Amino acid sequence: MQIKNIMSEEIVTIDKDQIVFDGLKLMKKHRISRLPVINANEKHEKELVGIISEKDIAIKLGSSKYGDLPPSHFHISTVMTKDLITVHKDKNVVDVANLLLETHVGGVPIMEKGKMVGIVSKSDFIDTCKGKAYEKILVEEVMSTDLVSVSSQDRLMHARRVMLDSKIGRLLISENNELAGILSSKDIIRAMISFKKEVPPKHRKAKIKECFVEQYMTTNVKKINSKTTIAELANDMLKTGYNGYPVVNEENQVVGIITQSDLLALIIELENE
């Protein structure tokens, strides 16, 4: 199967000179986590010049380099990824899935004759997991058991650094050895925008140390049972828009985490058999 068969043709873009707030509003409105960035060339044609994701925004907003810059001054061109990874519309689906996993990106623009004709993200692959082959596979067979977590009492900047070093978009948060919540790129963005609005630049370096995970993490996290089938999980992901869940056993103990990346790896494995 070619990637053009599952790509999204309705492309939501943003101009490089717009501000990050505009990008966040678009992402929220369309329930997406990345936007292709465009710019008008000398012929007044819109050309693809980058891509911006929630993770990119979380990284830049929390960096010391841009610490004194107010959120309203963050232009898309400052935050976007300029080293674009693109694929042709005739590329094989499995090859693109491999590319996403190898490069740790959540989506790529799809091209034809030098022009963007679509975009594909990890979520576009999830519909594949509703097939019969996936009804026989349980979450516990696919989930990641190498859990990355931090304490609710850890500083927010420590949690952000763990996310960057681990190349993940969410962290499990523990409290008294039990799951207390999840911290995602969205939570980091919300925290940084709030912090920069409320704290004057001259006090930020000292005050950032007073920001703790428990203040910004998402609580009441939805979990998935380890005996759930992958087909059931895929249906749930498509309904809720969630891209990952903590996995619990029959005793409600957290035994793993399953994300869209795990499903991509499974798709590749089954397609290569």
Q: What is the 3-state secondary structure (H, E, C) of 41-79?
A: CCCCCEEEEEEEEHHHHHHHHCCHHHCCCCHHHCEHHHH
Q: Is 127 within the bounds of a domain?
A: no
Q: What is the pLDDT of residue 170?
A: 86
Domain count, the chain: 2
Residue 150 in tokens = 């931090």
Q: Is 101 within the bounds of a domain?
A: yes
Domain final residue pick, 77, 93, 121: 121
Give the tens place of pLDDT for each residue, 185-234: 888 888 888 888 888 888 888 888 899 999 999 988 889 999 999 999 99
Task: Indicate whether 106 and 191 sit together in one domain.
Answer: no
Task: Indicate whether 198 and 101 sit together in one domain.
Answer: no
Q: What is the pLDDT of residue 68?
A: 63
Q: What is the pLDDT of residue 168?
A: 85
Q: Is 126 within the bounds of a domain?
A: no
Task: Indicate whether 93 and 195 sit together in one domain.
Answer: no
Report the CATH number that the domain containing residue 226 is assigned in CATH.
Answer: 3.10.580.10
CA angle (42, 47, 50) in 5-degree steps: 125
Q: Can you tell me the distance from the alpha carbon of 139 to that of 263, in angstroms, rounded to the nearest whole number?
A: 10
Q: Can you tell me the distance from the alpha carbon of 16 to that of 48, in angstroms, rounded to the nearest whole number?
A: 10
Q: Is 205 within the bounds of a domain?
A: yes
Q: Can you tell me the distance from the alpha carbon of 51 to that of 241, in angstroms, rounded to the nearest whole number?
A: 21
Task: Give the residue numbers spanning the domain of 40.
Answer: 3-121
Task: Indicate whether 155 and 113 sit together in one domain.
Answer: no
Q: Is 220 within the bounds of a domain?
A: yes
Q: Can you tell me the distance from the alpha carbon of 150 to that of 164, in angstroms, rounded to the nearest whole number?
A: 13
Task: Indicate whether 30 and 142 sit together in one domain.
Answer: no
Give the tens place of pLDDT for each residue, 51-67: 999 888 888 877 766 65
Whole-prediction pTM: 0.83
Give the tens place of pLDDT for each residue, 126-166: 999 998 999 999 999 999 998 888 999 999 999 999 988 88
* b/e burial code for range 163-198 (CB count within 10 A of at least 16 → b): beeeebbbbbbbeeeebbbbbbbbbbbbbbbebbee
Report the helix count and the strand count for the chain, using DSSP H and E: 10, 12
Task: Indicate whether 95 and 168 sit together in one domain.
Answer: no
Domain final residue pick, 121, 150, 185: 121
Domain final residue pick, 69, 87, 121: 121
Task: Indicate whether 190 and 77 sit together in one domain.
Answer: no
Task: Indicate whether 41 and 154 sit together in one domain.
Answer: no
Task: Indicate whether 110 and 60 sit together in one domain.
Answer: yes
Q: Cα torsion for 231, 232, 233, 239, to the nearest 10°?
A: 110
Task: Indicate whether 87 and 170 sit together in one domain.
Answer: no
Give the tens place of pLDDT for each residue, 233-265: 999 999 988 888 999 998 888 999 999 999 999
CA-to-CA separations, 91 to 94, 97, 111, in angstroms, rounded: 9, 10, 10
Q: What is the pLDDT of residue 235?
A: 94
Task: Indicate whether 151 and 258 sit together in one domain.
Answer: yes
